[in-house]
Amino acid sequence: MTGQVRTVDGRVAGRRGQATRQKLLDCLSEMLSSSPYRDVKVIDVARKAGTSPATFYQYFPDVEGAVLEIAEQMAAEGAGLTDVLAERSWVGKAGWQAAQELVDGFLEFWRKNDAILRVVDLGAAEGDKRFYKIRMKILNSVTNSLTDTVKDLQDKGKVDKDVNAAAMAGSLVAMLASVASHQKGFSTWGVKQAELKPNLALLVHLGITGKKPTK
């Protein structure tokens, strides 16, 4: 299904090739964490990986292409977000707990992968299809799960019918993502992480169930 890993000029990559390819990706990842996206140069990545720029171009069309690759890996292995939500009840105290754990898991996931995520976010915001597809892929597990939850509650008559489940879920997820990327901004602003989380959880709970949580 995944197909073989191929070089730009069509050869199939063998063991050694895949290793250098991966090393390049790792180094790129590191670079993205330590310097602004705009200043990440192919030559630096190559140097850091102990190889030459030409090698980089053998495996990736450009920096963007490599970033997409990293994001793809993250989306694949990083089920990360999936299990945060599996089959949870949103009624009563369990609901409050679900909201809290969702927030926790989400922020943690974002913190771990912030460098790539903000590049993906930029690409998506710029309207690049490849980027917003992968962004969706990453957020899908959470968004879909939340959407289903809302629909479910609507069927049971616990949530107003005029709520658009997908829009609500998407908005909440967007909020979490945005807050996660700008945590530093919040703290200079005088809001500590510890204070932030319960408020986010509260908003999530309000959004999903329409009611204040019972704690």
Does position 111 interact with a copy of itself (CB under 8 A)? The reply is no
Q: Are 161 and 168 in contact (CB under 8 A)?
A: no
128 lies in the site for a copy of itself, by CB under 8 A: yes
* Interface with DNA, residue 52, by CB under 7 A: yes
From DNA, a copy of itself, none, interface partner of 83 (C-beta below 5 to 8 A by class): none
Binding positions for DNA, 58-97, rule CB under 7 A: 58, 62-63
The per-residue b/e assignment along 79-110, b for 16 or more CB within 10 angstroms, e otherwise, is ebbeebbeebebeeeebbbbbbebbebbbebb
Task: Say whether residue 16 binds DNA (CB under 7 A).
Answer: yes
Binding positions for DNA, 24-43, rule CB under 7 A: 41-43
Instruction: State yes or no: residue 195 binds a copy of itself (CB under 8 A).
Output: yes
Report how many residues bind DNA under the rule CB under 7 A: 27
How many whole angstroms separate alpha carbon 80 and alpha carbon 75?
8
Instruction: Give which of a copy of itself, DNA, none residue 135 binds (C-beta under 5 to 8 Å, depending on kind).
Output: a copy of itself
Among left, alpha and beta (phi > 0; psi -120 to 50; other), residue 51 is beta
Residues that bind DNA (CB under 7 A): 7-8, 11-21, 41-44, 50-55, 57-58, 62-63
